[in-house]
Amino acid sequence: MNKPEIIIKSKTVIEKDFSELDFLDLLLKNRNIQKDQISDFLKPVFPGTLTPKQYKVSQKQLNKAVDRIKKAIKNEENVLIYGDYDVDGITSTAVLWQSLRYAGLKVLPFIPDREHDGYGIKAKSFFAFEKEKDKKFSLLITVDNGIVANKEIEKIVESGTEVIITDHHLPTSELPNALAIVHSTQVSGCTLAWLLASQFNPNADLGLAALGAVADCMPLNGINRSIVVHGLLSLRLNPSPGIKKLVQVSGVKADSISAYDLGYILGPRINAVGRLSNPTDALRLLCSSNSLYADKYAKVLDSFNKDRQVLQQDSLDLAEENIRKNASTDSPDKLLFVYDPSFNPGIIGLIAGRLTEKNYLPCIAISVGEEVSKGSCRSIKELNIIESLREVSDLFIDLGGHAGAAGFSIETKKIEKLKKELTKIVNKKLAGLDLKPSVTVDAEMKLEAVTVKNCQITKKLEPFGIDNSEPLFLFKDLVVSQKRLVGSTGDHLKLKFDDPDTKKLENISADAIAFKKGSMDGQLKVGDHVDIIARLELNTWNNTTLPQLMVKEIFLI
């Protein structure tokens, strides 16, 4: 892959004498935080003090939903919550089920199976669940789905069940025939479930709302920032038994759990069981009320996550081997297209994502079935993948997605035709373009500015995530003064950099860690001059706190 384009947000160079106030101001400006927003950004208000209007939710619709649920409580009606199998859907279901049960509602949760039920609400699955439980549900509440399921909702309504929809996905021009629709595209599905749940339980689980928001890649500003900041505080101080056990088995530090932990450590464990097995096990964990029960399901989720990692790596190795075998040296195609019967349909999105990230090319990964196959797509900023797929829409059984990602079902016999036609379309669209990734940094920084104070200032912007990325800095012309491999398998590099500016009276240096850069050990020598992109981090050891650099990119000069 080509060296990434480096985009520098600020022309200012951060040096040792740069004031703390100016440094913070630069970081806030880079994130488009206006002066009147600074206070709320640095100290977000508690989400429970905000009005539905601030969530972009209709007060009228919320009131209708609340009134209908109160009626169901009073009349002891049977109610079903219909969720989804990803983190946002499972946390949504858990938050609402716990709070409505607390309020006295006779309510059951349902998490669809990825393979058997598919994505979104299905009337067939709802009726099958009614039969399984030998119950007639007079009220159905969707969480994280339903806003575009007009036909499925209509079938359920015609059967005599009223429907309340809570969803954050983009609606179509015609809304479903529901009693009430609690909808906003500004927040996660779990935040909407929490908003409804908090009308019945003032202590509705805000920590799960934070987990859903981060895992569903919501922008961490505005109301989402309030949810995550206060949700993280809740998770640190008063975690549920299920979260407490999940934190323990995953090795997260309970008293300093971060948005990174939610998105990259806890979230994948909840997702893994839905990719490979029964997603209801994740719901059982989140709703566990005792430690023994929680311990059982935390281990189940952790085990499936390990299986998912092995399966994902094996599938990636196979996919990369297929790409190498089929690569054309004369005129390389601009589309990566891999398919195999061994690809688990639950991880094809992960395969496509990793291949796109590594090669900076759009990718299609297909799990091949006997008659019908499932496909997942990831793209780059230069190509709208859903538009390209729609040019051959007649080949698909179903198709959905957006510019950067999509999914489809296709008759297995049509895969080769899809490969041929889509490759031609993508090659034409990307012809002549210099395809390379980009990395955005806040500013150039001198090594002398890597101080404890500046590390502390960057931490003021936590939690980091979408639209509030952790500050990155460009360091030019450093000298590698020390290096060694670290980690159980030598995957990481422990480095020390010096400032080669001989005009300095004192030696300026900084310690650094470059995760997943162990493969560069043979390329780097002590004495080499390099440019690096890194973030600032505090390293506390033996009661001493020092700054260090967490290296993202290293470029030999």
* pLDDT 10s digits, 486-545: 988 889 999 999 998 755 657 789 999 999 899 899 999 999 999 999 999 999 888 899
Helices (H), 198-261: 206-215, 222-237, 241-250, 259-261
> For residue 32, with 0-12 CB atoms within 10 Å meaning exposed, 13-18 middle and 19 or more buried, which class applies?
exposed
Q: How far apart are CA 312 and CA 20, in angstroms?
A: 44
- Using alpha carbons only, what angle is made at residue 403 by residues 399 and 408, rounded to the nearest 5 degrees? 20
Instruction: In whole angstroms, give the CA distance from residue 553 to residue 517.
Output: 9
Domain ranges of the chain: 5-41+438-556, 49-304, 335-430
DSSP label of 557: -
Lowest mean pLDDT among 182-186, 241-245, 404-408: 404-408
d(CA 185, CA 169): 6
Dist. CA 353–CA 340, nearest whole Å: 16
Q: Does domain 49-304 have CATH number 3.90.1150.10?
A: no
103-119 pLDDT, tens per residue? Answer: 999 999 999 998 888 88
For 264-291, write each residue's pLDDT tens digit. 999 999 999 999 999 999 999 999 999 9
- Structure confidence by residue, pLDDT tens digits, 303-360: 999 999 999 999 999 999 999 887 766 678 999 999 999 999 999 999 999 999 999 9
Report whether pLDDT(429) > 60: yes
pTM metric for this prediction = 0.90
pLDDT of residue 469: 94
Residue-wise pLDDT for 50-102, tens only, equals 999 999 999 999 999 999 999 999 999 999 999 999 999 999 999 999 999 99
Residue type, position 499, single letter: D
Q: What is the pLDDT of residues 25-59, one digit of tens each?
A: 999 999 999 999 999 999 999 999 999 999 999 99
> What's the count of helices (H) and strands (E) in the chain, helices before strands?
18, 19
Domain pair 49-304 / 335-430, same fold: no
CB 551 within 8 A of CB 24: no
Class of domain 335-430 as given by CATH = alpha beta
Q: Can you give the pLDDT at residue 328?
A: 67
Query: How far is residue 24's CA from residue 229's CA, in Å, rounded to a whole number?
Result: 19
Residue range 5-41+438-556 forms a domain whose CATH class is mainly beta
β-pairing, 492-498 vs 509-514, is: antiparallel
DSSP 475-524: EEEEEEEEEEEESTTS-EEEEEEE---TT-SS--EEEEEETT-GGGTTT-
Crossing angle between the packed helical segments 222-237 and 206-215, to the nearest 10 degrees = 130
